[in-house]
Structure 1
Amino acid sequence: MKQILFLIGIILSISCSKATHTGTIPSHNSSSTSVIDLSPTLQSQILGGEQHFSVYLPPSYATEPNKRYPVLYLLHGMNQNYKSWINEGALQAVADEVIAEGAKEMIIICPDGFNSFYYNRPQMRYEDFFIQEFIPEIERRYRILSEKSHRNIAGLSMGGFGATYLAFQYHNLFGNAYSTSGGFIEPAMSLLKGIINTKLPTQKNFFPSYTLECGEEDSLVIESNRVFSQFLDEKQINYTKIFRQGTHNWLFWKESLPKILRSVR
């Protein structure tokens, strides 16, 4: 197993510069009052110790204290962290722009997923932490709409798999999911297919809205995305497929981000 995980790390390892920002970052756009907060933590009994995450609060959050918002859990890739979508993905600027253009105001939460693939493994019960501790605490602290239809999850590479896995495994929690350059590799792929197959007979109608996006020149994951797409087609699961020019890098993911944000319900 250690050898398999090492190979996974080699395949999906993504160069990511060290994040240097700390604390709260107000928007640089004078017409917006959105805020990025890199400082929050929560204590986890499951993982042990203090867990970090970052938050995007939309422009009206401070001025409309009774308003509640849809939430997007935005997952990072392997060898990245909870600051990557902000530092490398320009999350605040992109979110401000798409909201100004008419997208829903939303709260965006970027957890620290380590290299967990966001599901339970012997060395880390990340899935249990995320479902049992992280989501309840986040939705206690922030003014988030509680309905499934307003709970969204998305991610890149490893996080694309994680978003897909969590959305289908916990379809009672998530109304919408989006994967860009998803890391659908073994043994994670077989686990995901097994979960979907098990739920198909009785729960298919409750599956979330889902988008699968991948670059056609992405030699790391394009074939596995095609395989997963074919699987969804064979199971007659409704979803949106976007195969377009691009590879496994931040240029591609930054082009995906506005679509992810506009898909938030």
Structure 2
Amino acid sequence: MSSALAGDVEHHTFDSPTLGHPYPYTVYLPDGYADSPERDYPVVYLLHGSFGTERDWVAKGNLAQTADRLIAAGHIPPAVFIMPGSRSWWIDGHNEAARSAFFEDLMPHVEATYRVGNNRDQRAIGGLSAGGFGALNFALERPDLFAAVAALSPASYVPYPPLNSSAHRHPAFLDDEGHFDTALWDARNYPALLEEYRMQVTPRPSAEESDVPPVPLYISAGRSDVYDAEYHARLMRQAMERIQPNDVRLDLYPGGHTWRVWRASLPAALNFLFQYVDPQAEDRDGT
């Protein structure tokens, strides 16, 4: 592909009041972004995995090449991708308040800095492994903010992570004695969020539609995942289909808990998200 048709990748930080230190992120800006200052673009937030960084999706996941190809082919519209960095599992854990920083610092910074839509219809979220855990949790907690969510090999284990999972040694979940905090996991994993989410997205008896629509969910997993992600993905699909039976998709791939699987499933995930995200970049004056 000609470089003239490629998006730009940039790495930045900004001061995060919540974290008390610079918040790192990588941004993909679609081809033509700099030449169309009057346009707003849809935005997708992509979360990395356990002990990962904000550079993973570009360096290991081929995000830029995949986005370039899908945009050039017309499969997805030109869009901005934000890939934040976190020292936690995207929760307010024992080491940092990653969840609060995402909502209170990162999203406002992105919407003030880039020409992205600031409404639900132009915003989606996704993640891999621990980032899939975080992406699903964010969508369940705030269905008013996201049009769709993708969880690739989500580390949303029920009831608890397998013993070989890095969750058992991650500082987000280690208490003052260095033990895995099961109560924190119980409070932050998606089953704890389902009932409140159901109440938000289910129409009241007197209404045909709920005030906040369900957030369509894409799930993928490798069939030989060492953390048994296929089993946990099937549990997740079953739980979510009770609430939104027509808005859940599960794809299974050969392979394990690896970038090979995540690279393979990324195009399907993005195509899924953009079935629900507003494909039209809008003029800044609203036309």
TM-score range normalised by the length of the shorter chain: 0.7 to 0.9
Distance 1:105 1:208, change over 3 A: same
| TM-score under structure 2 length normalisation | 0.77
Displacement of 1:245 in angstroms is: 2.4
1:53 CA displacement = 0.6
Q: Do the aligned residues in 2 keep the contact of 1:120 with 1:126 (CA within 8 Å)?
A: yes
**Identity score, percent:** 27
Match of 1:224 among 207, 219, 232: 232
The one-letter code sitting in structure 1 at the alignment partner of 2:258 is: N
- AA aligned to 1:225 is A
User: Residue 252 of structure 1 corresponds to which residue in structure 2?
Assistant: 261
Deviation at 1:64, TM superposition (A): 1.0
Shift of 1:236: 4.5
Aligned to 1:31: 4
Q: Kindly report structure 1 stretches of 4+ aligned residues shifted beyond 6 Å.
A: none
Question: How far, CA to CA, are the matches of 1:173 and 1:241 in structure 2?
Answer: 22
C-alpha distance in 2 between matches for 1:233 and 1:170: 18
Matched residue, 2:79 = 106
Structure 1 match to 2:24:
52
What is the Cα-based RMSD across aligned positions, in Å?
1.7
Alpha-carbon distance in 1 for matches of 2:55, 2:200: 39
- Check conservation: 2:44, 2:80, Cα contact below 8 A: yes
What pairs with 1:1-265 in structure 2 (closer than 5 Å)? 29-38=2-11, 40-102=12-74, 103-114=76-87, 116-185=88-157, 186=160, 188=185, 191-204=189-202, 205=210, 206-220=213-227, 221-237=229-245, 238-262=247-271, 263-264=273-274, 265=277
> In the alignment, residue 37 of structure 1 is paired with which amino acid?
E
Q: For the pair shown, which has the larger CA radius of gyration, 1 or 2?
A: 2
* CA distance in structure 1 between the partners assigned to 2:197 and 2:262 by the alignment: 30
CA contact (8 A) 2:253 2:261 kept: no
List gaps (5 residues or longer) in structure 1. Answer: 1-27
Report the secondary structure of 1:62's partner residue: helix
**Deviation per CA, 1:71-111, whole angstroms, max 9, x where unpaired?**
01011111210001111112211111110010110000000
CA distance in 1, matches of 2:123, 2:148: 7
Once the two structures are superposed, residues 188-216 of structure 1 have per-residue CA deviations (whole angstroms, 9 ceiling, x without a partner) of 46631121112313433422121111112
Matched residues in 2 for 1:202 and 1:137: separation? 27
Higher RCO (C-alpha 8 Å, min separation 6): 2
Distance 1:33 1:242 in 2: 28
Q: Which moved more, 1:43-52 or 1:255-264?
A: 255-264
The superposition leaves residues 145-179 of structure 1 with CA deviations (integer Å, 9 ceiling, x where unpaired) of: 12201111001111111110001101111111001
> TM-score, with normalisation over the residues of structure 1?
0.83
Residue segments in structure 2 that go unaligned for 5+ positions in a row: 161-181, 203-209, 278-287
**Rounded Cα–Cα distance in structure 2 between residues aligned with 1:68 and 1:47:** 29
* Residue type of the alignment partner of 1:104: P
**Contact 1:215/1:248 (8 A) holds in 2:** yes
Deviations 1:35-67 (A, max 9, x none): 1002x1110111111111110000010111111
Residues 86-141 of structure 1 deviation map (CA, whole Å, 9 limit, x = unaligned): 11112211111110010110000000022x12121243211111001110111110
Indicate if the aligned counterparts of 2:18 and 2:97 stay in contact, CA closer than 8 A.
yes
More deviation, 29-38/174-183? 29-38
The farther-off stretch of 162-171 and 188-197 is 188-197
Count of residue pairs the alignment pairs up: 236
